[in-house]
Chain A
């Protein structure tokens, strides 16, 4: 199993451009999520999904869209990139959800380093 695969690994955008960060998992996990990692702020949840066709907002959803048309894929779209979106983005999945009762830890991808100039 490849686990959680994120593409691209690096990306540079100009302000106002749009792009999609790809995330795919081959573990048949129901739960998928996107985080951004910023120095001094840790990991902040952008959006998450508990199954195909279902998405919900996290702590910092503004400027980002997601969709979950299949169990495997959970792309993150930046509609109009801003310098404040310069960050490292992590996709993570788990069998059911992060709750201890599910006994399904998050599996993380390797991250996408995005720079917006």
Chain B
């Protein structure tokens, strides 16, 4: 039962350009959506979140957009930096947390 899907296993972008990571979900009851970043040999680290009643949340270089009608959210990173290279997980909350399988972002210098 995969209620949260990240259909792109990997993404490669040039330093300074925009990175767009996508996430789709099936359960319209999710209250909150979160993005986590994970480096090898470390646990996931919280990046940014958005409530289901909003459509955009911005924090520095990171912006999350939520399209409830399409059951889709995206994370924009502008400008992308080599240190952003990591696996990014989309997660959604409704009494418990559901994670996507992750997208590996590579930012090339």
Asked if A and B bind, the verdict is no
B residues with a Cβ closer than 8 A to A are none
